[in-house]
Amino acid sequence: MSFQQGLSGLNAAAKSLDVIGNNIANASTVGFKGSTTQFADVYANALNGAGGMTAGIGVKTAAIAQQFTQGNVEASSNPLDIAINGAGFFRIEQAGVTQYSRNGQFSLDKEGFIVNAQGAKLTGYGLGANGLLAAGTAVPLKIDTADQPPKVTSEMQIQLQLDSRASTPKKTEFDPADPNTYNKQVPMSVYDTLGNSHTLSTFYVKSPSGDGTWNVYAAKDGTELGALGAIGKAQTDPAAVTARTAWDTASKVVPPVAANLATTAAAYGKAAADAVVAAASVIVPPATDAPATPDNLAEVRAAADAAAAIPGATPVQIDAAIAKALKMAPQSIGTLKFDTNGGLNLASTGTAGKFLDVKIPIVPTTGAELVLEVDIDFAGTTQYGTTTSEKFLAQDGYKPGSLQRFSTGADGSILGQYSNGQTKVLGQVVLANFTNPNGLQPLGNNAWAESSQSGVPLMGTAGTGGLGVLQASATEASSVDLTAELVNMITAQRVYQANAQTIKTQDSVLQTLVNLR
CATH of the domain at 357: 2.60.98.20
The answer to whether position 181 is within a domain reads: yes
Same domain, 306 and 365: no
Q: What is the pLDDT of residues 93-107, one digit of tens each?
A: 998 899 999 999 999
295 and 338 housed in the same domain: no
DSSP 96: T
Domain presence at residue 199: yes
Instruction: Examine the domain organization and report whether 485 and 460 are in the same domain.
Output: no
Using only the alpha carbons of the chain, give its radius of gyration: 41
Q: Are residues 159 and 87 in the same domain?
A: no
- Residue 47 vs residues 43, 44, 55, 338: alpha-carbon distances, Å: 12, 10, 16, 100
Instruction: Report yes or no on 439 lying in a domain.
Output: yes
Question: In this structure, is residue 155 part of a structural domain?
Answer: yes
Residues 332 and 220 in one domain: yes
At 430 the pLDDT is: 95
C-alpha to C-alpha distance for 220 and 310, rounded to whole angstroms: 14
What is residue 287's predicted lDDT score, i.e. its pLDDT? 44
498: three-class secondary structure by DSSP = helix
* Predicted pLDDT at 129: 79
pLDDT in tens, the chain (517 residues): 578 888 888 888 889 999 999 999 999 999 999 999 988 887 766 555 555 567 778 888 888 888 898 999 999 989 899 999 999 999 999 988 999 999 999 999 999 999 999 999 999 999 887 778 888 889 999 998 889 999 999 999 999 999 999 999 988 888 888 899 999 999 999 999 999 999 999 999 998 887 889 999 999 988 888 878 877 777 777 776 776 676 666 666 555 444 454 555 555 555 555 665 665 566 555 444 445 555 555 566 665 565 555 555 666 666 666 666 666 678 888 889 998 899 988 766 665 566 767 889 888 788 899 899 999 999 899 999 999 999 999 999 999 999 999 889 999 999 999 999 999 999 999 999 999 998 999 998 889 999 999 999 999 999 998 999 999 999 999 999 999 999 999 999 998 888 888 888 887 888 888 888 6
CA angle 229–231–236, rounded 5-degree value: 95
Statement to judge: residues 39 and 163 lie in one domain:
no
Quick: pLDDT tens for 326-381: 666 788 888 899 988 999 887 666 655 667 678 898 887 888 998 999 999 998 99
| Bridging pattern class, strands 371-377 and 155-163 | parallel
In DSSP terms, 198 is beta-bridged to: 190
Sequence-distant (6+) residues with CB within 8 A of 407 are 79, 414, 415, 417, 472, 473
Domain that holds residue 316: 238-282+286-327
In this structure, the answer to whether residues 219 and 333 fall within a common structural domain is: yes
Q: Which of 369, 399, 429 is the last residue of a domain?
A: 399
Question: What is the number of domains present in the chain?
Answer: 4
Question: Does residue 233 sit within a domain?
Answer: no
Domain-located, residue 229: no
Last residue of a domain, one of 367, 382, 399: 399
Per-residue confidence (pLDDT) for residue 257, from 0 to 100: 46
φ, ψ of residue 256 to 5 degrees: the values are -75, 60
Which pLDDT does position 251 carry in this prediction? 61
Q: Does residue 313 sit in the same domain as residue 247?
A: yes
Residue 231 lies in a domain: no
- The per-residue pLDDT for 296 is 56
Residue 312 corresponds to which amino acid?
G
pLDDT of residue 227: 79
Of the candidates 25, 5, 6, the residue with the CA atom closest to the CA atom of residue 489: 25
User: 192 pairs with which residues across the strands?
Assistant: none
Q: With beta carbons less than 8 A apart as the criterion, state whether 40 and 8 touch.
A: no
Last residue of a domain, one of 299, 327, 355: 327
- Strand ranges (E), 325-446: 334-337, 354-361, 371-377, 382-384, 389-395, 403-408, 413-418, 423-433, 441-444
Is residue 334 domain-shared with residue 219, that is, in the same domain?
yes
pLDDT for the residue numbered 283: 59
Q: Are residues 82 and 44 in the same domain?
A: no
- Based on the fold, state whether residues 366 and 503 are members of the same structural domain: no
Q: Is residue 243 in a domain?
A: yes
Q: What is the pLDDT of residues 13-52, one digit of tens each?
A: 889 999 999 999 999 999 999 999 988 887 766 555 555 5
Residues 395 and 345 in one domain: yes
